[in-house]
Amino acid sequence: MGKNKNKVEAITPRDEDFARWFTDVISKTELVDYSPVKGFMVIRSYGYAIWENIQKLYDERFKATGHKNVYFPLLIPESLLKKEAEHVEGFAPEVAWVTKGGDKELTEPLCIRPTSETIICSMYAKWLHTYRQLPFKYNQWCSVVRWEKTTRPFLRTSEFLWQEGHTLHETAEEAQEETMQMLNIYREVAENDLAMPMVVGQKSEKEKFAGGSATYTMEALMHDGQALQCGTSHNLGQHFTKAFDITYLNRDNQQAYPYHTSWGVSTRLIGGIIMVHGDDNGLVLPPHIAPIQVVILPIAQHKEGVLDRAYALKDQLSNAFKVELDDSDNSPGWKFNQWEMKGVPIRLEIGPRDIEHNQCILARRDTGEKISVSLDDVEASIADLLEEIQKNLYRQALAMREAKTSKAVNMDEFKHRLKENPGFVKAMWCGDRHCEDEIKDETGASIRCIPFDDEQEVIGDGVCVCCGKPAKKMAYFARAY
């Protein structure tokens, strides 16, 4: 990219080959690169800046609700991992092991954390003594390693960045309240700042976190009709606290086990942003998380006064927005295409005629529309336009999801819907694992979530889409990343 100054490399059309389109976008916009180790991605500065913006939004919300950041070790002794049988069984196929330290074999293998429940619980058992210390509300930002067979940057990599919150509570009710509070925070930031509409609800027993009592999820729909799990919040009950003998002296002066939650979002959110908002020209970034919100392109910059006015504009706007000025010697057409591909929400063009008329041109990345605004009002105009772009991206994503959501009352209709209009299929389910497995085997679609009661509805006669017996709940099904 950039070898030919007059040409930006083409991106494979989205509807021609979605996987290729995604790869083109992440590589040609320099979000990531492939490392020498298969399945491990290098997040480049532009991609990491997006992650920093997402991280900041969530971190502020976590701290505002009383959570504090900590850091736990990368390596976990095998004996700790084995303390909770269901947990180790769930992660065993993905665990990477360290067996040597220098040139010596370790007396006990150490796993590279796939998640941190075990190491954190071992420390909580050491720290907690009395109910007066509760709740424990801690979070860590780190990376985890899960040895994936098939990888794709941001969506499924052997190492990825995330946050994982781990809390302890006196009562089951407090733990459930925490679990739902964090799910709601995830959803609010995803919808308000990432402009991605979410379907939220509970995972089935099959799909829940290994060792947990209940898992709640937020799911987004990508342009190709596949779902992406974007964040999960787990009520872990007392499974881990009992396994790790975490006890405290309660209000009745008795030894008791606390109730435990964990919750996490990861760099997978960036993959979601790309696949929900991107188009054939590249990235389309929501203003709230865009590393650059406005790019200034001086037109005929060789002419007297143009660069000076452009730099003055940059100084003025940088107090309120994230601004870049492209004064390179590339052609205007190359610059237009390049910054469009990188998804910058607003392109500001200013040339000799604009300066003469005390105006500039603002071009929207989401619609391509160009508007002329007075330089006297440029700051207010940009602020209003950024918020309109933010809202419009959400509206577009919601309309796409609704268009790709259908209902089915039997398996024939279910298969037809998935084939003709890939996306979410809302269908009734009896709650039987056999039916869940059969649907997955025959269609590749899994239960993404069982929506909460206020979003439940009865499809058809209220019978299971698979077996025809009375159904317990309506569920969202989809093929997923």
Extents of the domains making up the chain: 18-277, 294-395, 405-478
Output the pTM of the full model: 0.95
Mean per-residue pLDDT of the chain: 95
Q: Identify the band that residue 8 occupies on the pLDDT scale cut at 50, 70 and 90.
A: low
Residue with tokens 């056999």: 434
Class of domain 18-277: alpha beta
Query: At residue 350, what are phi and psi to the nearest 5 degrees?
Result: -145, 130
Tell me the three state secondary structure of residue 309: helix
| The one-letter amino acid at 200 | V
Mean pLDDT of 228-238: 97
Contacts of 151 (CB under 8 A, 6+ apart): 38, 39, 157, 158
Give tens-digit pLDDT for 406-453.
999 999 999 999 999 999 999 999 999 999 999 999 999 999 999 999
Mean pLDDT of 325-347: 96
Cα–Cα distance, 465 to 411 (Å, whole number) = 6
Query: For strand 346-350 and strand 294-298, is the pairing parallel, antiparallel, or unpaired?
Result: parallel
Architecture of domain 405-478: 2-Layer Sandwich (3.30)
Contacts of 41 (CB under 8 A, 6+ apart): 32, 33, 34, 35, 153, 154, 157, 159
169-173, long-range: CB < 8 A, 24+ apart: 169/134, 169/135, 169/258, 169/259, 169/260, 169/261, 170/131, 170/134, 170/135, 170/250, 170/251, 170/256, 170/258, 170/259, 171/259, 172/237, 172/259
Tell me the three state secondary structure of residue 138: strand
Q: Is it true that 294-395 and 405-478 share their CATH fold?
A: no
Mean pLDDT of 371-392: 98
pLDDT score of 9: 66
Structure tokens at 10: 């083409």
Cα–Cα distance, 228 to 218 (Å, whole number) = 9
Give tens-digit pLDDT for 250-292.
999 999 999 999 999 999 999 999 999 999 999 999 999 999 9
- Residue 102, classified by CB atoms within 10 Å of its CB into exposed (0-12), middle (13-18) or buried (19+), is exposed
Of the ranges 83-97, 383-397, 442-456, which one carries the lowest mean pLDDT score?
A: 83-97
Tell me the three state secondary structure of residue 102: coil
Residue count of the chain, please give it.
481
Superfamily of domain 294-395: Anticodon-binding domain (3.40.50.800)
Structure tokens at 420: 């003709």
pLDDT score of 3: 41
